[in-house]
Amino acid sequence: MELIGSLYRWQQEVRQHLEARLYKLRHKDDSYSVRLREVEFQRILLVIAGLIGDTVMSVPVIIEARRLWPNAHITVLGQKHNCDLLSPCPLIDRCVLTSALPFSLTKMRELKRLQRWLGQEKFDVALLVLGDQFALMAAKAGIPIRVGVQESCLAPCLTHTYTVGAPQSWGPGERLNILRCLSHDVRDVSPRVWISNEARESSREKLAKLGLSSGQSYVVLHPFGSTRRQWWPAERAARLCARLGDDLGTRTLVVGGPETRPRVPKSTSKQMISVAGLLSLQELSAVLENAALVVSTDSGPLHIAGALGRPVIGLFRERRPEHSTRYSSLKAVIGDHQTCQTSCKWNYCAQVPCHQLRDISADEVLAAARGIVTTKAHA
């Protein structure tokens, strides 16, 4: 499967390079010379089609775009999880969902529909916050100002570029460069997450059916990640749930996507409740909003909890510690393993799960949790 995935990514990159080169040859005079600081955009497209954590860290772009252009109509284009997370945001006018990404070998009909829609909307500017692969579609749609990452192979399809620095370490400040490259002064604002009242109510109802009464304190545990290599071992998670219940008397909600349900830690503790696969992204945010503590790998729930200001214990690999100080409420527990220093890359682990995550013990996490939960109980 890894070989097939590598081949698929390779053919996508080759096609993107070729398409970008062809576009540049056909549009040599594609430029925009107006002083952008003086332009009052009326119709703005924000492409945010990335991972959940990256989406959270990109929210400051939305906040500052609305401040710079208070009267503009702002559309966010993204995948389902992006739209689910951002739809309650009062600073955008609408979220448009796409189930297909450019250069995919499937869903060609959806991509054609998306291309027509982009052309019909007559956007003044396209800000490619997350989703470099949309650059060619935006160019073909005739959007006059197209801003994206300088390092993208599709950069020739853009009119303005910005840099986010090292791909393994960028954060909200670097992503705000998308507005700075248009000659605007922006503030270093913090990420935010908005939650609908409907999600708060429905999440309370679901938890009540599982035996968690309203107002009862709980800890949220997310031992999973976007790949299996980023998962904290199930036996460590099960031990932590049991110890949290025995030592601190707190109930633990184990959260995750539908694909994680068969992998939820097996525990005999009545203090553990699995809600993996049972919550929408908005409902998950509502659950995180009221948690006494969140324990998570470096993944979407960690960033949502951090943006909500909840106490978070982050489980990090020593090879990937860049977000361990991202939020003021975050306390990091970092696993280390000597073989990972030579056999692994920043975005690739040679073992499943990663040795560095496996080396984080339940006792280490419990020690960090004990101080946070005890302090909160006596506050």
How far is it, in rounded angstroms, from Cα 77 to Cα 48?
Answer: 6
Label residue 3 by pLDDT band (50, 70, 90).
low
Is the pLDDT assigned to residue 376 strictly greater than 70? no
* pLDDT tens digits for range 115-172: 999 999 999 999 999 999 999 999 999 999 999 999 999 999 999 999 998 777 789 9
Provide, rounded to the nearest whole percent, the portion of the chain with pLDDT above 70. Answer: 89
Going from the C-alpha of 194 to that of each of 13, 198, 351, the distances in angstroms are 35, 12, 37
Environment class of 72 (CB within 10 Å of its CB; exposed 0-12, middle 13-18, buried 19+): middle
Torsions phi, psi for 312 (to 5 deg):
-130, 135
Spatial CB neighbours of 305, under 8 Å, sequence gap ≥ 6: 220, 288, 291, 294, 296, 312, 329
What domains can you pick out in the chain, each with its CATH number?
Answer: 16-180 (3.40.50.2000), 197-377 (3.40.50.2000)
Residue 300, pLDDT score: 96
Residue 364, pLDDT score: 93
Label residue 341 by pLDDT band (50, 70, 90).
low
* pLDDT tens digits for range 225-234: 888 888 998 8
Helix axes of 52-68 and 300-307: crossing angle, nearest 10 degrees: 40
Residue 37, pLDDT score: 61
Q: Which of 83-97, 176-190, 340-354 bottoms out in mean pLDDT, i.e. has the lowest?
A: 340-354
Averaged over 60-69, what is the pLDDT? Answer: 97
How far is it, in rounded angstroms, from Cα 289 to Cα 287?
Answer: 5
Q: What is the mean pLDDT of the chain?
A: 89
Is the pLDDT assigned to residue 314 strictly greater than 90? yes
Is the pLDDT assigned to residue 245 strictly greater than 50? yes
Q: Nearest Cα to 308, choosing from 85, 74, 97? A: 85
Is the pLDDT assigned to residue 340 strictly greater than 90? no
Please tell me the pTM assigned to this model: 0.92
